[in-house]
Structure 1
Amino acid sequence: MNLLSKLFRTKSPQVHKPSGESKASGELIAELTGGANLVEGRRTWELAEQRKDDLHYMKECCEAELKTMEKAGLVAAPYYFERVAILSRKEKNYEQEVAYCERYIAAVESYYRTDGTEGIADVRKGPRFQAIVKRLKKAKELLGRAE
């Protein structure tokens, strides 16, 4: 069941803050998923620019994206997986690079196999997903040479 379905099935979604302001979609997702989309209390997109060169945070964002995908039915954003792959290659950690590329591709393929693509964007057609697919091939070559 996707996020919108969950929102509409909730008897009284708390879409407003006590001040009367509307809650942002990220806040609603955090409520519905028990904070699955949060890393140290912050939404993953808030860390994207500030911590893009911090492998630890990018890996935490990957985990949060996968949990959100599972709980809210939203496709995990490829950005964090691509950043982990880039940072892993810089460290010559090709095994980790391969693992994160494969993990993302498998998760996305599983998502679309289960939920289909009717009425939603297919991230597999996007440039970041395609970059991860290409990166995987090269990372496997580099891993093979390193062994």
Structure 2
Amino acid sequence: MEWSLEAEDVLRQSRALAEVDGRPTSSFVERKDDLEAMLSCCDAEEATYWRQAPGSRISAAPFFFERAAIILSKRKQYTDVVTICDRWLAIADDYRSQPMVLNGSATQCHLGPRAQAIEKQRARAISKLG
């Protein structure tokens, strides 16, 4: 008898899988220019992140926050850009203090190019508002 457990199943069982309408947020990547889809994914990623136990949180995906910020910026909704970026930054700030991140056994996505792009989007939006 063969038994297999997919990563998605493990994440779902541990309540660490972000979902929109019962589908993993990763299934929305192709809708990257759809603001409503990206915002729904941001909501799901954020809610999933914060409901995980402190000290063992798996990072939210920065992709959706970056895409939402890009779309909002193109629409000149700079206050909303700052808000969506701040939501990601709060997650990133908490994530960097997780023991598995500190000991190097977890992804460093809070330091990666998407995280850096989110910070740049925020700075640009603030300069446009000011």
TM bucket normalised to smaller: 0.7 to 0.9
In the alignment, is residue 113 of structure 1 matched against residue 94 of structure 2? no
Pick from 121, 124, 128 the counterpart of residue 110 of structure 2: 124
Displacement of 1:67 in angstroms is 2.2
Query: Which residue matches 2:87?
Result: 103
Gapped regions of structure 1 (runs ≥ 5)? 1-18
Which of 56, 61, 64 matches 1:77?
Answer: 61
Q: Which moved more, 1:109-118 or 1:51-60?
A: 109-118
Percent of residue pairs bearing the same amino acid type: 35
Gaps in structure 2 of 5+ consecutive residues:
none
TM-score computed with the length of structure 2 as normaliser: 0.84
In the alignment, is the contact (CA less than 8 A) between 2:72 and 2:80 conserved in 1? yes
Letter in 1 for 2:8: G
Deviation at 1:30, TM superposition (A): 1.9
Q: Which residue of 2 aligns with 1:39?
A: 20
Q: Which amino acid aligns with 1:44?
A: T
Relative contact order higher in (CA < 8 Å, ≥ 6 apart):
2
Partner in structure 1 of residue 10 of structure 2: 28
What is the root-mean-square deviation of aligned Cα atoms in Å? Answer: 2.0
TM-score, scaled relative to structure 1 = 0.75
Matched to 2:11, the amino acid is I
Larger Rg belongs to: 1
